[in-house]
Every structure is written in structure tokens, then in C-alpha cells.
């Protein structure tokens, strides 16, 4: 654990001089002005504190400030490590500034430093924090690339144009990735404005937009899901557990985070329903169980199969899909690096854990389950956000309409 040390700016001065905090760690050094001054004759160099003498009556308060600063920088360092964030001189400064500024960080102007502190101290979900850290990482990289100082006041339309150009041309990001990064930058700026750290609201200009394009994601038809359910994986338990968990999600619409927390006590009314509070929104949902789900739960004696990591599950799902013959060609259109790209995939290559939730919503919609009933399960609050989940082809749409009274 690095240690804070205190030194005098001018140890041989005949008048009061500043005291600096020095913090060395991993080859880096933070040199920070404590804003406290003392005459060198009252300074104990060995103890790095003011001498306890009547000639300097304020020694107790003076030493208390130094002790608090030392504690703050040590705690900040530990919090960054625990939060898997790399400590830097910049992100170690914020708690020190907060402590010393009477107007509570009004002098803090760096967007990146503020954003890092916000993420560390927020109560947001781990998945959201990962997304926010990605936004911070890209801001840091842009700051280094452009040699800009990212103060709150610098977040204007000129910054927006340059940053978006960087994300497109240098990072080669897709439209929706850029949109997410801009959305999270706006979140940081909103927090700063709410805390009265800045009056700059240019990020609210209509030209400072969060860009978005309709994402082309697959869903699995009920026939696809039946084929996955029917394959024999008894000799491959790693794939069998993943397949079974995926089928549960296909017929409940549960997110991966909710699937992971699913337990026997969530089964109610003689295993006819699942009752669970969702991790992301905190909403209580009650879902009737499909016969496939009941069979799977019975196989595991009422305890849902053990869930692997999201990354590993996504990897295994592609193998499961290939074994089930879900191999039709799928064309995906997207924008990457500002260029329209058309790519061909085998359908199994695009299967992820989230495919299950999208498949649930789409298949329920195609089978005439009322939209409001599906939304009660998926937790969508608006029909607009719900409809983004519905992925039906022109042929699926036509088949659905064949039975409509208007066409009969």
C-alpha cells in the first residue's frame, strides 16, 4: 500500500511556506498542495507534522487536516483498486479537492476525474457501471489523442463534432456504440449541472444528439427453439445446462441477470408460475410457465440449472445452435466507421443470451398474446421501447395478417 508523505515547498524559508502531499504508487507520483502554510521552524520533518508547541497554537487543527488528507488519498486508492479502476494522479485528486473546497467541489473542472468519482460512488448496477467505465475510457483516449483539456466548459458543439469524428474515423465504432457513449457523457454532464459544478448546458443542444440506428438482431422461431430443445446433449453436460437455461429464458423473457438469480423459491402455485423481482428495474413480474420450462425444472428437481458467465454462455450457445442445425444465412446491415456494411452470418453465430428475451417477445406477439400482457412480463414501460424487441420478417408479418378479419 503506498504511503502519503508531506514536505515543505521551501524548507529553508524564513517565512511561512506551503505543505505538499506526495503520493507515490506504481511508478507514478501525485504532488498535491494541501493549501496549508507553516513556518519551517514549527515543522517536525521526521513526523511530517507541525510541532506541538505553544508558539504554534493551531498545531492540532493543522495536523488534523494533514491526517484527513492522508486518510482520504489512501481510501481513494483502495476504492479504485476494489472497483477495478487504475489509479492515476488525476483520479486521486477529487476527494482531496472536495475536502479542501468549502463550496463542495465547485473548483473541480475535469470531466474525466468527476466521471470516475461518480461511477465509484454511485449505486448503479454492475452492468451499468461497466458501460459508464467504457464511456470514461473513450474520453481518456480522446483526451490523449487530441491533446485537449476536458473541462466542463469545453463540452460544446465543437467538442461534439471532433469527438464523434474521432469515434467514427479512429475508433471505427458503429452508430449505436457512439450513441451510447454520447448518452453517458450527457449523464455525467447532467450530474455536474445538478451539483452546480458548471453552468454549461450546450450538451442539451439538439445538435448534440445521441445517434441511433435500428439494430438488426435475430430472434429464434418457435420451430428453432423446439429443435434446440430436442437435441440430445446428455453426453455434453456443459452444453446441456446452457441449453436448458436458454430454453427457460425463451419462454419466460427473463434477462441473463434475472436468470442467474432464479431459485426454487421463485416458483409459486405448484410450479405453474415464476414470481421474481427483476435485477435491472426492480419490478416484480409473475410469469406463467410453459410446459418445456416445467419439464426442465423437474429434471433439475426444481432448482434451475447452474448459470455460467454471460461470456461463456454466449460461446456455448453458438455451439448448441450449430448442433441443432440453426444454420440459415442471415444478412446484417450496420454502420461501422461511418460506412454502411452488409455482413452474412450463419444464424447460430448470432445467438446470445439476449436472443432468448427477444424471441420470447416476438413469438408471444406473433401468437396474438396481447401486447400489454407481454409488456407486464418483459417490464417494458412504453409500447415504443417494447416494439424495438419485436423482430419479425415480412413473411412473418404476412402470415400473422392472413388470419385478420380485414383479409377474410
Give residue-wise pLDDT tens across range 121-168.
888 888 889 999 999 999 999 988 888 878 888 898 889 999 999 999
pLDDT score recorded for residue 98: 73
Question: Is 50 exceeded by the pLDDT of residue 183?
Answer: yes
Indicate the fold that domain 222-407 takes in CATH: hpI Integrase; Chain A (1.10.443)
Kindly state the average pLDDT of the residues 183-201.
92
Question: Is 70 exceeded by the pLDDT of residue 195?
Answer: yes
248 contacts 355 by C-beta, under 8 angstroms = no
Q: What is the spatial distance between Cα 205 and Cα 137, in angstroms, rounded to a whole number? A: 24
Q: Which of 71-75, 98-102, 129-133, 356-360 has the lowest mean pLDDT?
A: 98-102
Question: Is 60 exceeded by the pLDDT of residue 178?
Answer: yes
pLDDT score recorded for residue 222: 94
Kindly state the average pLDDT of the residues 376-389.
82
Hey, what's the cell of 51? 510541532
pLDDT score recorded for residue 104: 44
Q: How confident is the model over 230-267, as pLDDT tens digits?
A: 999 999 999 999 999 999 999 999 999 899 989 999 99
pLDDT score recorded for residue 106: 44
Hey, what's the cell of 6? 508531506
377 contacts 253 by C-beta, under 8 angstroms = yes
Percent of the chain with pLDDT over 70: 97
Domain limits, the chain = 1-100, 101-213, 222-407
**Which one has a higher pLDDT value, 395 or 152?**
152
For residue 3, CA distances in Å to 25, 82, 177, 249 come to 8, 18, 40, 50
Q: What is the spatial distance between Cα 114 and Cα 152, in angstroms, rounded to a whole number? A: 10
Query: Position of cell 511561512?
Result: 16
- pLDDT category, 109, cuts 50, 70, 90? low
Q: What is the spatial distance between Cα 251 and Cα 288, in angstroms, rounded to a whole number? A: 9
**Which one has a higher pLDDT value, 374 or 125?**
374
Question: Is 80 exceeded by the pLDDT of residue 214?
Answer: no
Domain 101-213 has CATH 1.10.150: yes
- pLDDT category, 215, cuts 50, 70, 90? low
225 contacts 362 by C-beta, under 8 angstroms = no
Instruction: Kindly report the three-state secondary structure assignment for every residue of 105-166.
Output: CCCCCEHHHHHHHHHHHCCCCHHHHHHHHHHHHHHHHHHHHHCCCCEHHHCCHHHHHHHHHH
Q: How confident is the model over 301-321, as pLDDT tens digits?
A: 888 888 888 899 999 999 999
Helix, strand, coil fractions of the chain, as percent rounded to 5: 50, 15, 35
Question: Mean pLDDT in the chain?
Answer: 88
23 burial class (0-12, 13-18, 19+ CB within 10 angstroms)? buried
CA 311 from centre of chain: 15
Question: Is 70 exceeded by the pLDDT of residue 216?
Answer: no
Amino acid at each position: 500500500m503506498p504511503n502519503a508523505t508531506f514536505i515543505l515547498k521551501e524548507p529553508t524559508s524564513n517565512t511561512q511556506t506551503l505543505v505538499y502531499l506526495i503520493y507515490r504508487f506504481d511508478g507514478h507520483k501525485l504532488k498535491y498542495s494541501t493549501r496549508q502554510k507553516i513556518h519551517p521552524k514549527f515543522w517536525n520533518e521526521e513526523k511530517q507534522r507541525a510541532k506541538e508547541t505553544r508558539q504554534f497554537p493551531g498545531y492540532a487543527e493543522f495536523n488534523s487536516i494533514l491526517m484527513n488528507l492522508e486518510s482520504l488519498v489512501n481510501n481513494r486508492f483502495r476504492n479504485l483498486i476494489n472497483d477495478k479502476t487504475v489509479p492515476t494522479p488525476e483520479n486521486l485528486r477529487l476527494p482531496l479537492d472536495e475536502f479542501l473546497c468549502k463550496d463542495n467541489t465547485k473548483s473541480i473542472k475535469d470531466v474525466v476525474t468527476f466521471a470516475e468519482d461518480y461511477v465509484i460512488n454511485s449505486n448503479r448496477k454492475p452492468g451499468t457501471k461497466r458501460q459508464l467505465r467504457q464511456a470514461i475510457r473513450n474520453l481518456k483516449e480522446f483526451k490523449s489523442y487530441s491533446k485537449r483539456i476536458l473541462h466542463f466548459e469545453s463540452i460544446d458543439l465543437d467538442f461534439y463534432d471532433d469527438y464523434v469524428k474521432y469515434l467514427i474515423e479512429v475508433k471505427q465504432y458503429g452508430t449505436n456504440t457512439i450513441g451510447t457513449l454520447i448518452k453517458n457523457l450527457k449523464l455525467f454532464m447532467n450530474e455536474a449541472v445538478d451539483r452546480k459544478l458548471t453552468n454549461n448546458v450546450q450538451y442539451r443542444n439538439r445538435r448534440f444528439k445521441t445517434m441511433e440506428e435500428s439494430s438488426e438482431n435475430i430472434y429464434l422461431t418457435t420451430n428453432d427453439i423446439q429443435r434446440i430443445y430436442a437435441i440430445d446433449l446428455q453426453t455434453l453436460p456443459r452444453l446441456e445446462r446452457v441449453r436448458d437455461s436458454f430454453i427457460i429464458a425463451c419462454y419466460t423473457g427473463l434477462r441473463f441477470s434475472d436468470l442467474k438469480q432464479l431459485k426454487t423459491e421463485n416458483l409459486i402455485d405448484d410450479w405453474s408460475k415464476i414470481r421474481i423481482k427483476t435485477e435491472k428495474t426492480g419490478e416484480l413480474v409473475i410469469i406463467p410457465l410453459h410446459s418445456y420450462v416445467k419439464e426442465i425444472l423437474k429434471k433439475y428437481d426444481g432448482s434451475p440449472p447452474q448459470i455460467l458467465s454471460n461470456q461463456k454462455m454466449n460461446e456455448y450457445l453458438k455451439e448448441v445452435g450449430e448442433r441443432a442445425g440453426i444454420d440459415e444465412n442471415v444478412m446484417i446491415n450496420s454502420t461501422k466507421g461511418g460506412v454502411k456494411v452488409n455482413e452474412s452470418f450463419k444464424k447460430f453465430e448470432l445467438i446470445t443470451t439476449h436472443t432468448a428475451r427477444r424471441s420470447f417477445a416476438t413469438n408471444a406477439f406473433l401468437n396474438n398474446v396481447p401486447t400489454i400482457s407481454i409488456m407486464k412480463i418483459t417490464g417494458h414501460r412504453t409500447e415504443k421501447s417494447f416494439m424495438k424487441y419485436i423482430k419479425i420478417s415480412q413473411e412473418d408479418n404476412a402470415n400473422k395478417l392472413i388470419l385478420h378479419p380485414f383479409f377474410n
